[in-house]
A and B are shown apart, each in its own frame.
Chain A
Amino acid sequence: MKVEPVKVVVDDVSVAFDSRGHTVVALDRISLAVAAGEFLCVVGPSGSGKSTLLRVVAGLLRQTSGDVRIEAERPGAPLTAMVFQEHALLPWRTVLANVVFGLENRGVSRAQREARAREMLALVGLSRFARHYPHQLSGGMKQRVGIARALANDPEVLLMDEPFAALDAQTRTIMQEELLRIWATLGTTVIYVTHSLEEALLLGDRVVLMTARPGRVSQVFPVELGRPRGLEIRSSPAYGVLLEKIWTELRDEVLKSMEADRDP
């Protein structure tokens, strides 16, 4: 495998916040490096700070200490664009107007931003729905718009926060295949947060396992299953072995997390 240059460095990042007088440590000295063009999956029990990590990288949340560096290659492009769990589209904007939103805010000319948006809508297969409003779309279609909106900005890093968690199983499978196809086309660096190990193994080049609160990096597992991948990888022995191996670790963290939530 060719060694790619480092794209994102998360260096010793901690996040702590006050909750009813107690200091809660959400992230505890996390360090990570993501290679350019890599698809990195982050898994962990609820409360392990997966989303917090993503929000710090996105600049939506400021870390208490530590440093996040993103190597910018294209001047003018935003560092990150996020696909949110609950799609978070603007209900009063049409699909097209949602996809151009970021470009519009950056002052890109109308003709340019609409051309770019149409290109992205074609990529996610929603060209015919440009004039629809989000509430007229199914959950899967809304999430496609969310992906098109993020990609339209041509971000250095694409961040995805459990984007398919709210979808039904069949739609989720289709969306995962679509995402792999798009990623293969564009070669974007992706950080993808999920609570599903199966999803992480299907999508990721590596899987970062986080611990129960306070969130730390427990282990990093390379996923050496070859590409392109589809659902058929589930029948390969290597898949089963890796799944079993990560699950053994994850299981402990989930139990710890449940223990911490229990009454003393």
Chain B
Amino acid sequence: MSRGPGWLAQHWLTVASPVALLIGWEVASAVGLLREAFFPRPSTVLVHLRRLVADGTLLGHALPTLSRIGGAFALAAILGVVTGLAMGLWRRLREGLDPVFAVVYPIPSVLFLPFVSFLVPRGETALIVTTAATSFFLIAFTTTEGVRQIDPLVVEAARHYGARGRRLFTAVLLPGALPFIFTGLRLGLGYALIVVVAVEIVSASRGLGALLWLSWQVLKVEDMYATFLVIAALGAVLSYGLAALRARLLPWAQDVAER
């Protein structure tokens, strides 16, 4: 995936749409179409963002969030991929776990918090486990599908050419499932961000979610939007980062996806 000079020409909408949104907002607030008390101009928000960065407030709240996302994502990724692979390989396990997953998965993640607090130490551990829950299900689901969608003819050919047991797993089933696993990881990382902010709003004194909520409660609307921007940017960076990693690691799957 190379971003030559033609990239901007082809994907100008990707850049133009957020810029147009911000300009529209700026103008609407400036002319009084939007009430500045609730919808401060983006330029004003940027000024406040710079202040939050300068006085260290933002970093103090961003670091705990990042470390929670890191912990939750690692937990969800490891358990999700392992569970998903096992479910993809063994029909019995899949049949046993499917109904359980189907019931638990749609529950809004934040609601796991009290339940999780009974099982693990309250505080950080409970926050991380709760954040990991939804991501875990997403990653396990996509990994299972990743194993199941591998062309049986390819597996038969690989067996015919002598791939058995562990070798069949490492050389055929795992690489065959990887594009789906990456999709699951990307979705899971996105959800980890969504859930961690929600969980921080309910039960943390530090973290971007907490900062957002605190700013709202004391009506520091500009700070709220500034935090909002940071969370949005974080989401975009994580998502595109994982997509770039996929392109680097799975060149054979990339061209197919872009078609």
Using an 8 Å CB-CB cutoff, how does the interface string of A72-111 with B read, 1 for contact, 0 for none? 0000001001101010111111000000011001100000
Any chain A CB within 8 A of the CB of B172? Answer: yes
B161 contacts A92, C-beta separation under 8 Å = no
Indicate if the CB atoms of B255 and A135 lie closer than 8 Å: yes
Whether B163 contacts A105 by the Cβ 8 Å rule is yes
For window 105-120 of A, CB contacts with B under 8 Å fall at: 105-106
Q: Is A129 among interface residues, defined by CB-CB distance under 8 A?
A: no
Main secondary structure on chain A at its contact with chain B?
Answer: loop
Q: Given A84-B157, A86-B153, A88-B151, decide whether A105 and B162 contact each other with a Cβ distance below 8 A.
A: yes
A136 within 8 A of B: yes
Name the residue in A82, A84, A105, A133 with the highest tally of chain B Cβ atoms < 10 Å from its Cβ.
Answer: A105
Most buried by A among B151, B161, B256: B161
How many of chain A's residues have a CB under 8 angstroms from any CB in B? Answer: 24
A50 at the interface (CB under 8 A from B): no
B93 to chain A, nearest CB (A): 25
**Is B253 part of the binding interface, using a Cβ–Cβ cutoff of 8 Å?**
yes
Contact B162 A92 (CB under 8 A): no
* A169 sits at the interface (CB 8 A): no
Q: Are A136 and B255 in contact, CB atoms less than 8 angstroms apart?
A: yes
Q: Does B160 contact A (CB under 8 A)?
A: yes
A149 at the A/B interface (Cβ < 8 Å)? yes
Please indicate the chain A residues that have their CB under 8 angstroms from the CB of B157 in the complex.
Answer: 82, 84, 88-90
Does B245 reach chain A (CB closer than 8 Å)?
no
135-178 of chain A: CB within 8 A of chain B: 135-136, 149, 153
Q: Which of A81, A88, A102 contacts B156 (CB 8 A)?
A: A88
Interface membership of A1, Cβ < 8 A? no
> In the complex, what residue of chain B is closest to A135 when comparing beta carbons?
B256
Query: In whole angstroms, what is the CA distance A133 to B256 when docked?
Result: 11
* Contact of B118 with A by CB under 8 A: no
- Assess the A90–B154 pair: CB atoms within 8 A: yes
A135 & B156 in contact (Cβ 8 Å cutoff): no
B252 CB within 8 Å of chain A: yes
Nearest-CB residue, chain B, relative to A149: B161
Known contacts A82-B160, A92-B252; decide if A105 and B167 are in contact (CB<8 Å): yes
Task: Collect the chain B residues with CB atoms within 8 Å of residue A254's CB.
Answer: none
Does B161 lie within 8 Å of A101, measured CB to CB? yes
Q: Is the CB of B156 within 8 A of A105?
A: no
Chain B residues with CB under 8 A of A93: 252
- B35-69 residues with Cβ-Cβ distance < 8 A to A are none
Known: A86-B153, A92-B175, A105-B167. A78 touches B252 (CB 8 A): no
Cα A133 to Cα B255 with chains together (Å): 10
Give B163's nearest chain A residue, CB to CB.
A105
- Asked if A126 is at the interface of the complex by the 8 Å CB criterion, the answer is no
CB atoms of B251 and A88 under 8 A apart: no
Contact between chains at B160 and A90 (CB < 8 Å): no
Given B156, B161, B163, B252, which contacts A91 in the complex, CB threshold below 8 Å? B252
Task: Report if A84-B161 is in contact (Cβ < 8 Å); known contacts: A92-B178, A92-B250, A92-B253.
Answer: no
Chain B residues contacting A78 (CB-CB under 8 Å) are 162
Shortest CB-to-CB span from B105 to chain A, Å, is 29
C-beta contact mask, B233-259 vs A, less than 8 Å → 1, else 0?
Answer: 000000000000000001111011000
Q: Which of B158, B251, B255 is the one whose CB lies under 8 Å from A90?
A: B158
A192–B259 Cα distance when bound, in Å, is: 35
Quick one: closest B residue to A83, CB to CB? B157
Query: Does B88 have its Cβ within 8 Å of any Cβ on chain A?
Result: no
A138 CB to nearest B CB, Å: 15
Q: Kindly provide the distance from the CB of B11 to the nearest chain A CB, expressed in whole angstroms.
A: 23
Interchain CA distance A90-B172 in the complex, whole Å: 8
- Answer yes or no: B209 CB below 8 A from chain A CBs: no
Interface residue? B176 (CB, 8 A): yes
One of B160, B167, B176, B251 near A60 (C-beta < 8 A): B160
Please, how many angstroms separate the alpha-carbon atoms of A90 and B159 in the complex?
Answer: 12
Shortest CB–CB separation between residue B41 and chain A, in angstroms?
49
CA distance A31 to B167 in the complex (A): 35
Cross-chain contact B251 with A153 (CB below 8 angstroms): no
- Residues of A contacting B163 with CB < 8 Å? 101, 105
Contacts A/B (CB < 8 Å), 14 sampled: A58-B160, A59-B160, A60-B156, A82-B157, A88-B154, A88-B156, A90-B158, A91-B154, A92-B253, A101-B161, A101-B171, A105-B171, A133-B252, A135-B252
Q: Interface residues, chain A, CB within 8 Å of chain B?
A: 58-60, 78, 81-82, 84, 86, 88-93, 101-102, 105-106, 133-136, 149, 153
Shortest beta-carbon contacts, A-B, top 7? A105-B162, A88-B157, A102-B161, A92-B175, A133-B252, A88-B153, A92-B252
A82-B160, A102-B162, A133-B252 are known contacts; what are 5 more A-B pairs with Cβ within 8 Å? A60-B159, A84-B157, A91-B253, A92-B178, A101-B161
